[in-house]
Chains A and B, each alone.
Chain A
């Protein structure tokens, strides 16, 4: 039998893990500095958590990994978390649900079946949830956080596309469709079907006008939105609060010098979104997104608590970042004659001292690639330490650990900057 991993899964090599940890590290650091706290939720949740609220589309729910637990004779299914936000909302309601503001972030995997083989079924996300506050300022804060993370990863030029789910919902509502039809179209939009909106041909002339204007609304200009708000204030007053909210956010982003595009048709997301929706793209590929979801916590029975959040897609970011090579100046390969117990003891002692001084010290167990190390140390009885600098082609015979450290310092430069 061939040994192989599960279909749709992915192994991460040390080199890939270095990318993973780089992103995770930058993300955690940014969040902590903005005053957010890290949380972790279980991989397993009850399926009804996700069906209860109509929060995932039936299409998504048809692709979750759910099963009966060992005590699931009641038919209560558990599921491998298919989404990051709902479990955090659950955590908030269960442990903090006092209506107070909570600034939370997490790094978690989510599981959704994927049939094409183009993507993995287990995906990693860096997510942020800002619970208990509904203001354009909060939405803008999230956008600033996500842009800061991307900036620090060298992806500051990512494209930011803005849409507004409240506006889309309100538009669909005006079309006079049954609530089932509205839901169906809305689900298609959320599943990423960009044509779902453009295919609609409203019968009423004023709606037709509003529709084409809004769908054509691409580019960067709060003024344009303001014109539209003025235009529709008489004919479609229901759109006004959403347009006003959108304008305030866009104005703020403008003031803060953010680059963005408005594209109402880019609605891919979750059914729990209610307000501004944003997506981040790099070279046409989506690398993250988020938005306002004021309806989620009320639907879950947690009271009328607003919230918004975003997630960055770690698997995609991993292909875009380049961690600084850790190989080189501070890696030391330490060897000794295994049969000489005194030398072995001495080598362990030296290794500890070097590690305490900040060096990476690998013991030579045989088969190591010498090119991965700048320094080689051979420990002989005596003790005598033969230190080789592979970069400069120098060799030193030394008697104490202190001497080894001194030469490493003199020849290798400071430990925090590569030689």
Chain B
């Protein structure tokens, strides 16, 4: 019987790849420029290896799609914090990729212990990529009232203005200091783990694969990250008034076109993007660089007044929260992508009618995988796709088809990536470009400055 192994993209890729080389797996194409997510293994011809975003791996192993997986302990615990009965077994500590998760607060916030925070009467806002661990920590700390903002990333830049606390992985004290943060409490420490599905471990012969991974381990002591806080000179946070306009700009591939557009509108953003707080020539405006996925929620909560994000993420937000005050202020006509429905090339389905028929003829629930959970849910609902399940993914969705999902809702620019992964487009949902978003609940005193930014950008966009 084939053994299925889920391998991580991202920060653990290099060391995991080296480990499997030492174990003589002979994996084809598991390297930084990973172009295909289905890998062949020379040593174990029956091994099906697939590459996922690290965060998806514990879930894929827990639901039994994969027998084994390699990922950070943080993501295993994030799953178990919410679903303690998940069928995940921690098989082996692989001793690399050590990281520690800390609840951190701004150095300027004053309250620095769990107990002090517990005495607060207001709402404690916690920003994190680890919402389940954050909630569980808040419950254990018996904080009276708290809100968790689930994030795609960049939690470190949220305190103190956009959140009171951030639960983040901390590598070095310098890094923490550069964001003006201090530790409040350690939540977790650990590195890469080999994990197994509980039923597979009991019923399948995994011994050969597990033993060879064990053989590949280096006999080195694991090095715990030293997280001594190092004081850096000068505060990175300047005072912001109540009427300061907060502008969120995107990281990733949308960043450079956005900055050049701003520059054409005579809005200068200095290139100190390292601590995600660039300065600008605009008076009374402050900028943070965050993930575009997180922007609509942040604008809805008034943590930011303006943000440059994609219409896809705005829609995703509005489908989840139909009465949200967030609205599109200006189409920036940048970074055009299509949001499409995608299936395996081998599936005899050509359009949405075909999808519907396929979903009804299936004995098992129809599976839709997507980073856009709410868009995917609405698409399946509106098109009456039989009994269906939406599988949230954190990227690399192509790896899910055909074994672990029937349909993807994906964005694509040219369609080339889709074709490379042996997939085809069966429906187009909508087109998405970058847009400027704001809130219908405009804070008094900010209106003029917001208006002038919109006007400046509008002139550039409409001037071509």
A interface residues with partner B (beta carbon < 8 Å):
1, 48, 51-54, 58, 61-62, 68, 70-76, 115, 183
Residue of A nearest to B326 (CB): A73
Contacts of A115 in B (CB 8 A): 84-85
Q: A58-B139, A70-B322, A73-B297 are in contact. Are A51 and B85 (CB under 8 A)?
A: no
Tell me how far the C-beta of B103 lies from the nearest C-beta in chain A, rounded to whole angstroms: 16
Quick check: A62 and B136 within 8 Å, CB to CB? yes
* Residue B143 CB within 8 A of the other chain: yes
Residue of A nearest to B141 (CB): A58
Within 8 A of A (CB), among B312-339: 317, 320-324
Contacts of A1 in B (CB 8 A): 363, 365, 386-387
Quick check: A72 and B321 within 8 Å, CB to CB? yes
B350-370 contact mask (Cβ, 8 Å, vs A): 1 or 0:
000000000000010100000
Please list 9 pairs of residues, one from A and one from B, whose beta carbons are closer than 8 Å in the complex, sorted by A's number.
Answer: A1-B387, A58-B139, A62-B139, A70-B320, A73-B301, A73-B320, A74-B301, A75-B125, A115-B85
Q: Which of B26-34, B144-152, B154-162, B187-195 contacts A (4 or more CB under 8 A)?
A: B144-152
Contact pick for A75, options B84, B149, B323, B386, CB 8 Å: B149
Quick check: A54 and B142 within 8 Å, CB to CB? yes
Quick check: A71 and B139 within 8 Å, CB to CB? no
Q: A1-B363, A1-B365, A73-B300 are in contact. Are A51 and B144 (CB under 8 A)?
A: yes
Contacts of B365 in A (CB 8 A): 1
A54 to B147, CA, bound (A): 16
A1 to B363, CA, bound (A): 6
Within 8 A of A (CB), among B47-101: 84-85
Contacts of B444 in A (CB 8 A): none
B103-144 contact mask (Cβ, 8 Å, vs A): 1 or 0:
000000000000000000000010000000000101110111
Quick check: B140 and A58 within 8 Å, CB to CB? yes
B421-438 contact mask (Cβ, 8 Å, vs A): 1 or 0:
000000000000000000
Contacts of B136 in A (CB 8 A): 62
**Most-contacted residue by chain B among A48, A51, A62, A75 (CB, 10 A):** A75
B369-400 contact mask (Cβ, 8 Å, vs A): 1 or 0:
00000000000000000110000000000000
A172 to B136, CA, bound (A): 26
Tell me how far the C-beta of B109 lies from the nearest C-beta in chain A, rounded to whole angstroms: 18
What count of chain B residues pass the 8 Å CB interface test? 28
Residue of A nearest to B144 (CB): A52
Tell me how far the C-beta of B297 lies from the nearest C-beta in chain A, rounded to whole angstroms: 6
A75 to B123, CA, bound (A): 10
Tell me how far the C-beta of A76 lies from the nearest C-beta in chain B, rounded to whole angstroms: 6
Known pairs A51-B144, A75-B147 / 9 extra A-B pairs, C-beta < 8 Å = A48-B144, A51-B139, A51-B143, A54-B142, A58-B142, A62-B84, A70-B321, A71-B323, A74-B301
Contacts of A58 in B (CB 8 A): 139-140, 142
Tell me how far the C-beta of B438 lies from the nearest C-beta in chain A, rounded to whole angstroms: 15
A58 to B320, CA, bound (A): 28
Quick check: A61 and B144 within 8 Å, CB to CB? no
A70 to B147, CA, bound (A): 16
Residue of A nearest to B301 (CB): A74
Contacts of A71 in B (CB 8 A): 321, 323-324
The 6 tightest CB contacts between A and B, nearest first, are A75-B147, A73-B300, A48-B145, A73-B321, A52-B144, A115-B85
Residue of B nearest to A64 (CB): B139
Quick check: A51 and B145 within 8 Å, CB to CB? yes
A51 to B139, CA, bound (A): 7
Contacts of B139 in A (CB 8 A): 51, 58, 61-62
Tell me how far the C-beta of A362 lies from the nearest C-beta in chain B, rounded to whole angstroms: 36
Contacts of A76 in B (CB 8 A): 147
Contacts of A54 in B (CB 8 A): 142, 144
Contacts of A51 in B (CB 8 A): 138-139, 142-146
Contacts of A53 in B (CB 8 A): 144
**Most-contacted residue by chain B among A58, A72, A76 (CB, 10 A):** A58
Residue of B nearest to A53 (CB): B144
Residue of B nearest to A63 (CB): B84
A311 to B140, CA, bound (A): 27
Residue of A nearest to B142 (CB): A54
Tell me how far the C-beta of A363 lies from the nearest C-beta in chain B, rounded to whole angstroms: 37
Tell me how far the C-beta of B93 lies from the nearest C-beta in chain A, rounded to whole angstroms: 25
Residue of A nearest to B363 (CB): A1
Quick check: B147 and A74 within 8 Å, CB to CB? yes
Contacts of B125 in A (CB 8 A): 75
A285 to B100, CA, bound (A): 45
A73 to B296, CA, bound (A): 9
Contacts of B149 in A (CB 8 A): 75
A52 to B121, CA, bound (A): 9
Tell me how far the C-beta of B273 lies from the nearest C-beta in chain A, rounded to whole angstroms: 27
Tell me how far the C-beta of A78 lies from the nearest C-beta in chain B, rounded to whole angstroms: 13
Tell me how far the C-beta of B162 lies from the nearest C-beta in chain A, rounded to whole angstroms: 12
Tell me how far the C-beta of A198 lies from the nearest C-beta in chain B, rounded to whole angstroms: 25
Q: A1-B363, A1-B365, A62-B136 are in contact. Are A73 and B142 (CB under 8 A)?
A: no
A58 to B317, CA, bound (A): 30
A73 to B374, CA, bound (A): 14
Residue of A nearest to B298 (CB): A73
Tell me how far the C-beta of A127 lies from the nearest C-beta in chain B, rounded to whole angstroms: 24
Contacts of A52 in B (CB 8 A): 144-145
Residue of A nearest to B321 (CB): A73
Contacts of B143 in A (CB 8 A): 51
Tell me how far the C-beta of A292 lies from the nearest C-beta in chain B, rounded to whole angstroms: 22
**Most-contacted residue by chain A among B143, B145, B149, B363 (CB, 10 A):** B145
Contacts of B301 in A (CB 8 A): 73-75
Quick check: B323 and A70 within 8 Å, CB to CB? yes
Contacts of B322 in A (CB 8 A): 70
A48 to B138, CA, bound (A): 12
Quick check: A75 and B321 within 8 Å, CB to CB? no
Contacts of A75 in B (CB 8 A): 125, 147-149, 301
Tell me how far the C-beta of A116 lies from the nearest C-beta in chain B, rounded to whole angstroms: 9
A387 to B363, CA, bound (A): 52
A122 to B301, CA, bound (A): 33
Residue of B nearest to A76 (CB): B147
A68 to B142, CA, bound (A): 20
Tell me how far the C-beta of A349 lies from the nearest C-beta in chain B, rounded to whole angstroms: 47
A9 to B354, CA, bound (A): 35
**Most-contacted residue by chain B among A52, A73, A115 (CB, 10 A):** A73
Within 8 A of A (CB), among B385-419: 386-387
A327 to B145, CA, bound (A): 54
Residue of A nearest to B297 (CB): A73
Tell me how far the C-beta of A125 lies from the nearest C-beta in chain B, rounded to whole angstroms: 23
Contacts of B297 in A (CB 8 A): 73
Contacts of B317 in A (CB 8 A): 73
A54 to B136, CA, bound (A): 14
